[in-house]
Amino acid sequence: MNNVSQKPNGKPLTTAARIKSPRLSVPFKVLNRDLRLIFISNLIGAFGDGLYAYILPKYMAEALGASPVDVGILYALTSLTAASTLLAAGAIADKYDRKKIMIAGWAAWLPAPLIFAFAKDWMQMIPGMILWGFWLGGPTSTAYIVTAADKNKLTLTFTIISSAWSFGYIFSPAIGGYMAEKLNMQTVFLISFALYALATTILAFIRSQHAELLEHKKLGDHPSTVQLLKTRKLMAISAFFAATMFVIIMFRPFVPKFLADTYHYRDSEIGLLGSIAFAGSAFLGIALGRFGDKYGKKFALAVQMMLCSFSLAVTLLTGNFYLLALASFLMGASYTVWPLMSAIIGPMAPEHIRAKWVSIPQTISMFASILAPYVGGILYSALPSLPFTTAILMTTALTLISLVQKF
């Protein structure tokens, strides 16, 4: 994709010239037209998602009679669907128009809030939770962004686009909760459906993109998934990111419970700290993106994990709200693992099989994250601080490993 804009005199401004432009001090200048549309689509869709995602478990229990086990089953179905669809998305995104696969990913989500709105019991939520788990956009968007982006600003590009989700989630949970209280959850679900539809429509305006075809095909140019699983380099990086995702998902669900159980904070205060964490993920993500492009992706990843360790240490050591607010902001860095992973693995993949290639570490990481909350729950039951001390030790080890990796 040609990355060309116009100077005031009408002559083309090349990518190289624009990189030197002082206007690029504004982070969002690294996004071309298509990537800006993807950012806007994610921002709108994330806002719609956040309207109900935070309070959905409560709705399942109170309005639809779901027990804690039932809620766990519903979310397990979503996670399993997400992990399963990544490989399929990677395979088809290298054969067909990546734009259409990304649109299909949002379109698969469209019926979910409608199903939630009209469900009469928790069993009727099952089709919606399965559709909510469809993640066709994972490897597809990674491949699209790598091909469309300025390669010198790739890490920043991924973290900026990912920040759209964080910005969308900063205020939407509070707004969704207020609307549910003043109106009803059905209204919240219908508004979310409308925002999903708008996010899907926006993607229709990005340019089509196909994987490059090889002029001279050779045996092994299009390896199967099984063959890729035997690639040592791919498996090593998959194992590293699976371990990283495992650690993050092991501790993060238990932070609100720890704040309530240990420091006796109310829901409103915990919700505020959650919003601060999402704000941190947005701003720290952009900062880490710039840092990674300047000093190296592995150093950005190391800093990200050190921020997680420090934030957990502060959380364990003090119940002071202002210090916890700082810790929550820094803990927002934990949400940047996925875009940093995409920035690292995306350029490694051959263009003609990029989506399939990146779908493998994404899938392995997703399956690892399914088990992580269960392990975190066992540790928390033994001692509330145990998931966090374990995470500090593991992130320290992963930081050291990342520094010796050749990304």
Please tell me the distance from the alpha carbon of residue 352 to that of residue 341, in angstroms, as a whole number.
Answer: 20
Q: Which two tokens stand for residue 57?
A: 């478990």
Q: Which of 250, 247, 245, 246 is nearest to 345 (CA)?
A: 245
Q: Which two tokens stand for residue 78?
A: 């979503």
CATH number, domain containing residue 258:
1.20.1250.20
Q: Which of 375, 346, 347 is nearest to 362 (CA)?
A: 346
Domain shared by 183 and 46, yes or no: yes
Q: Is residue 17 part of a domain?
A: no
Contact in structure between 314 and 323 (CB atoms under 8 Å): yes
Please tell me the distance from the alpha carbon of residue 343 to that of residue 146, in angstroms, as a whole number.
Answer: 8
Q: Which of 71, 4, 7, 70 is nearest to 32 (CA)?
A: 4
pLDDT of residue 204: 93
Any residues with CB less than 8 A from the CB of 107 and at least 6 apart, and which?
A: 200
Please tell me the distance from the alpha carbon of residue 335 to that of residue 347, in angstroms, as a whole number.
Answer: 21
The DSSP code for 151 is G
Domain shared by 230 and 198, yes or no: no
pLDDT of residue 23: 42
Q: Which two tokens stand for residue 337?
A: 């693992």
Domain shared by 176 and 315, yes or no: no
> Rounded to 5 degrees, what are φ and ψ at 385?
-80, -10
Q: Which of 214, 239, 205, 226 is nearest to 368 (CA)?
A: 239
Domain residue limits at 174: 30-209
Name the CA dihedral angle for 31, 36, 42, 47, rounded to a multiple of 10 degrees.
Answer: 110
The tens digit of pLDDT for each residue in 206-227 reads: 999 887 765 545 545 556 555 6
End-to-end CA distance of the chain: 25
> Rounded to 5 degrees, what are φ and ψ at 12?
-60, 145
What are the residue ranges in the chain where pLDDT is below 70? 1-27, 213-230, 351, 406-407
Q: Is residue 248 part of a domain?
A: yes
| Last-in-domain residue among 178, 209, 240 | 209
**DSSP string for 252-280:** GGGHHHHHHHHH---HHHHHHHHHHHHHH
Domain shared by 313 and 190, yes or no: no
| Type of residue at 112 | A
Domain shared by 373 and 249, yes or no: yes
- Number of domains observed in the structure of the chain: 2
Please tell me the distance from the alpha carbon of residue 46 to that of residue 339, in angstroms, as a whole number.
Answer: 16
Contact in structure between 354 and 147 (CB atoms under 8 Å): yes
